[in-house]
Amino acid sequence: MSADRPERRRDAAATRRALVDAAAALFADRGYERTTVRDIAARAGVNQALLFRYFGSKQLLFNEVTAIAGLRRMRETPPEELLETALRGLLATGPGPASEVGEGARRDRALEAFLRSTGGDAATRTGRLLGQEYAAVLATLTDADDAALRSDLILAWLLGIGLTRNVVRQEALAGADPEEVCDLVLRAARTMLEKLPPRQEPEP
């Protein structure tokens, strides 16, 4: 709220941030193709030409919003927690925009943006990039010689769950209790990744 600096009226860094935030929200809501640079600029409250000054193109802004944020997050999580963490991140995205503003409310919109943008080269590339990083980590959780395939399958499951829950909004999954979903998925996943830590009982 209270900024000690005397509030610059022209602030490149601030408008850059505004553009990134607006783009993240819109890409997540509508996907890449259906989001226009004019939409983004309007939501950020700035002129659309600035988008090109700061990011070069719509595509580069999309990369900034999805790939960069996603990668950073992943690298901070230890392998054996990665699946559950990602799964919970996915499930935390409740229906409706929830409390849009606020500090801790910034969720996994990057993944959602990616999910809604499949098909174009845009998302396919960054998707593969992110996917390979995730898969590599998950593959350390099994000694089977088809570790890569197993981790890809688990990853595919995450994608599908995100798609079904947040985009298609299939009823049973969209409204399900995250705990129950975690339980079912992790139990099945342990068929493939034998080093997954056993689920702890929620409350004794």
Partner DNA sequence: GTTGGTTGTAAGCGTCTGCTTACAAAAGGT
Partner DNA sequence: ACCTTTTGTAAGCAGACGCTTACAACCAAC
Question: What distance in Å separates the CA atoms of residue 146 and residue 112, rounded to the nearest whole number?
Answer: 29
Written as six digits, the tokens of 196 are: 């997954």
Helix or strand or coil: residue 112? helix
Helix or strand or coil: residue 107? coil
Residues that bind a second copy (rule: CB under 8 A) add up to a total of 51
Written as six digits, the tokens of 174 are: 């969209």
119 contact choice in a second copy, DNA, none (CB below 5 to 8 Å, kind-dependent): a second copy
Asked if 202 and 180 touch (Cβ cutoff 8 Å), the reply is no
Give, as ranges, the residues between 28 and 87 that touch a second copy (CB under 8 A): 30-34
Position among 48, 63, 93, 118 found at the interface with a second copy (CB under 8 A): 118
Helix or strand or coil: residue 89? helix
Sketch the per residue contact string, 126 through 165, with a second copy: x for CB under 8 A, - otherwise: -xx--xx--x----------x-xxxxxx-xxxxxxx-xxx
- Cα 35 to Cα 75, 117, 158: the distances in Å are 29, 10, 24
Sketch the per residue contact string, 98 through 117, with a second copy: x for CB under 8 A, - otherwise: -----------------xxx
Give, as ranges, the residues between 37 and 76 that touch DNA (CB under 7 A): 37-39, 46-50, 52-53, 57-59
Q: Is 170 in the site for DNA (CB under 7 A)?
A: no
User: What's the burial of 55, exposed, middle or buried (CB within 10 Å: 0-12/13-18/19+)?
Assistant: buried
120 contact choice in a second copy, DNA, none (CB below 5 to 8 Å, kind-dependent): a second copy
* Residues binding a second copy (CB under 8 A): 30-34, 115-120, 124, 127-128, 131-132, 135, 146, 148-153, 155-161, 163-165, 167-173, 176, 180-181, 184-185, 187-189, 191-192
